[in-house]
Structure 1
């Protein structure tokens, strides 16, 4: 068959378009996967482990455990929600420590009604204070999981599930498909379930170990790119040697409109105060103060003092959300001098070692029952601390912005830093700008009692 020149040109164009679309799709997949890799937490993930502990007449009893192996990313309120699709026509007979959000169509069951007949169930953790006969080990946290680096004991959640119509042997049971981690919000993507060696689980009294009959794992990773097109936090900077304060970049977290923020005199805030007096199980939508950056949280880094052998930084975290309290918040900072942290005031501190040879990253979080809750926007909507670091004489300098952080994360989200050319500059007439050694003692005593004062931009 012969084609005229018009057909040839049309087919050539279609082929080129197909190549462009294919190349774009490949690039998108590569970029999406690359973005899920966090250079400060290269092995961080949420792992769902499914252990079949016994067989029943038409299925099995299993323990499902959720591990938040992320070093600094917390699963916040409203907590985790796990979803999947059954491989066959399985049902959930019973659950302890969690519940399915929908029962589905169970009309064909007459004598005993299953807990859920959904083909693609979604499961949530029980709330604290659930009835004792519904509880299970490590359950009932409302789905909230601390980061692994912050508190490993609080980073684990578990429930028991009784599955029917599934098969009663390792050969007849089929692994569920299409696992999803939905609850903490968008951004998580899960791989397929994979068989692993049977888990050995200690019994309740810890004196005996039981081995699962069959086990599989599902690994879920987080991508900030998939979660939101804009950051949720930003960084502002200042220093004792300059009157200049470098504010967060304009529109750092998006550009404002009437739907995304309110002013301090908004009537909506007065309505919110009335609603707060009523009980509600729903997690409220964010309500931000209108700012030039439109971020939920601003982190301020202030170079406070420069001693002969040490230097001091003050950190303030400010919440601009009128509705959201940040429970068990954490702050991750990358700076080359964090390998010589001498003392941290008012915050807990833990070095993070994503690469063992480099110690330039640390996690800060609140002291329990003191400032581990970052209150919603208002007079109490901030937490502050100071860091005293020993100088590395070979690298320390106040020039060229060296003393400012390289990366900042709040609750696992990377914050937008100002452009380097806008940093507070060191005056040309200054020399070493040293403070007498005796000032360290006075400043240390003062820092133990300093009041929570925020630099408001």
Structure 2
């Protein structure tokens, strides 16, 4: 009897351990500070804070933001960096950025600080800021390209004088509760951590200067935290079948009068009359076109041609937001044949190799000054290109949806794909069609779907 009770207690203990382990695993998986992206496992935004010199009551610091994400840009309205001071620090002056609020500086009589907020929020200066306010890598309106697309555009920096902080490594306390805002929700920042002092080149790149004290803050992105719905969807078509697979219904939410407008809406006509004012808004309110999917962006993948040794895909990206231009957009596609991309006709292309042994993911983005700006919804609200890939004869097939993408991301957010059982199927007579008929059908399918939503 005692033996049975012992076994029962062991079972209860084992169940308890399993339950605790499961709960702990769930907490780890949903922890916003440890967001994990399988296509960019080390991607993050790193904030580096370097104390370059001491002042009478504090220090001069250079703060630098690095967008180390391979394919996720920080777009308009740009980054906003916030934190909470550890003591009663103030910001005397700034170059290359500005605090959004001055706060209560009533106790200062002779010299008024730039900001007295206990939890300041700082934004980048806009392009064209006065020369005496500029700083290296500043004045981009907070817009940062991804590290994979353009490392030179993925850095932003500003300088500030901090007072009432102490003026030694022992008396300076690290700020707390860092927040990366502005580009929208989804970013979570860890605590500031002391790191070896940074060595920085002077402006003429002939001399190295070492920071007196440095710390880093790492911020990661979670699409789950950013929005309960995706922001983009994928539609599919092919030359061998008249069937077009549309975006799933309600892929990015469902229609109602508060979320979208029809093409003949009075609101839309009135906003067109105020085009200049609307485009100059820093944070314009979304004005979505009513569609069955209610997504900001639709990506269309069309299998255009099948040659002996190659096959060709046409990709179109369509914007359904009447008030938002996508600056320096990026499209990421996962497909096993991307390891044999031969030519991309009017997009730039870069393989993404999160795992060196697997080359099945690539990033497409616009040609500079040509189509790197995806315009707002309307006649010009699309960009498109064709991709030629060499066949891997051991794996290539048009059967069972193999030729369609496995994952698609637009501007860092994963797009909703249609269910596989709805993909255009391959008819038995697909290869018996004359080439001329096949090409005509391909153009008709793509053109008709391009104007349909």
TM-score by length of 2: 0.90
Partner of 2:336: 336
Change (3 A) 1:305 1:324: same
Helix, strand or coil for the counterpart of 1:288? coil
Shift of 1:24: 6.5
Q: Distance in 2 between matches of 1:349 and 1:452?
A: 27
Q: Distance in 2 between matches of 1:289 and 1:269?
A: 9
Partner of 1:91: 90
Verify the 8 A CA contact 2:51 2:214 in the aligned structure 1: yes
In structure 1, stretches of 5+ residues that fail to align are: 1-18, 441-445
Q: Distance in 2 between matches of 1:140 and 1:355?
A: 35
Verify the 8 A CA contact 1:35 1:225 in the aligned structure 2: no
Partner of 1:253: 252
Shift of 1:453: 9.4
Change (3 A) 1:323 1:452: farther
Partner of 2:452: 456
1:208-287 matches, within 5 Å, as: 208-278=207-277, 280-287=280-287
Partner of 1:9: none
Partner of 2:370: 370
Verify the 8 A CA contact 1:68 1:147 in the aligned structure 2: yes
User: How many aligned positions are there?
Assistant: 429
Q: Distance in 2 between matches of 1:157 and 1:93?
A: 21
Helix, strand or coil for the counterpart of 2:273? helix
Partner of 1:413: 413
Change (3 A) 1:374 1:423: same
Q: Distance in 1 between matches of 2:204 and 2:367?
A: 31
Verify the 8 A CA contact 1:307 1:434 in the aligned structure 2: no
Verify the 8 A CA contact 2:34 2:220 in the aligned structure 1: no
Partner of 2:15: none
Shift of 1:415: 0.2
Helix, strand or coil for the counterpart of 2:450? coil
Verify the 8 A CA contact 2:45 2:220 in the aligned structure 1: yes
User: Which deviations, in whole Å up to 9, do the C-alpha atoms of 1:240-287 show, x marking residues without a partner?
Assistant: 010000000000000110000000000001111122233744311111
Matched, 1:179 2:178: yes
User: Which deviations, in whole Å up to 9, do the C-alpha atoms of 1:349-394 show, x marking residues without a partner?
Assistant: 0111010111100000011111111111111111110000000010
Verify the 8 A CA contact 1:304 1:313 in the aligned structure 2: yes
Change (3 A) 1:170 1:35: closer
Verify the 8 A CA contact 1:316 1:385 in the aligned structure 2: yes
1:47-58 matches, within 5 Å, as: 47-58=46-57
Shift of 1:429: 3.8
1:38-437 matches, within 5 Å, as: 38-278=37-277, 280-430=280-430
Q: Distance in 2 between matches of 1:33 and 1:278?
A: 37
Shift of 1:36: 1.9
Q: Distance in 2 between matches of 1:278 and 1:254?
A: 29
Change (3 A) 1:35 1:168: closer
Change (3 A) 1:266 1:311: same
Q: Distance in 2 between matches of 1:340 and 1:356?
A: 15
Q: Distance in 2 between matches of 1:99 and 1:378?
A: 35
Shift of 1:22: 12
Verify the 8 A CA contact 1:332 1:363 in the aligned structure 2: yes
Q: Distance in 1 between matches of 2:338 and 2:21?
A: 44
User: Which deviations, in whole Å up to 9, do the C-alpha atoms of 1:159-208 show, x marking residues without a partner?
Assistant: 00100010111111000000000110100000000000100001100111
Shift of 1:33: 4.5
Change (3 A) 1:105 1:354: same
Verify the 8 A CA contact 1:49 1:218 in the aligned structure 2: yes
Change (3 A) 1:48 1:34: closer
Partner of 1:8: none
Helix, strand or coil for the counterpart of 1:302? strand
Verify the 8 A CA contact 1:47 1:66 in the aligned structure 2: yes
Q: Distance in 2 between matches of 1:32 and 1:341?
A: 37
Verify the 8 A CA contact 1:305 1:435 in the aligned structure 2: no
Verify the 8 A CA contact 2:239 2:304 in the aligned structure 1: yes
Verify the 8 A CA contact 1:32 1:225 in the aligned structure 2: no
Q: Distance in 1 between matches of 2:173 and 2:247?
A: 52
Helix, strand or coil for the counterpart of 1:120? coil
Q: Distance in 1 between matches of 2:448 and 2:398?
A: 26
Change (3 A) 1:88 1:45: same
Q: Distance in 2 between matches of 1:432 and 1:60?
A: 76
Verify the 8 A CA contact 1:192 1:218 in the aligned structure 2: yes
Q: Distance in 1 between matches of 2:19 and 2:240?
A: 53
Change (3 A) 1:59 1:433: farther
Shift of 1:27: 2.8
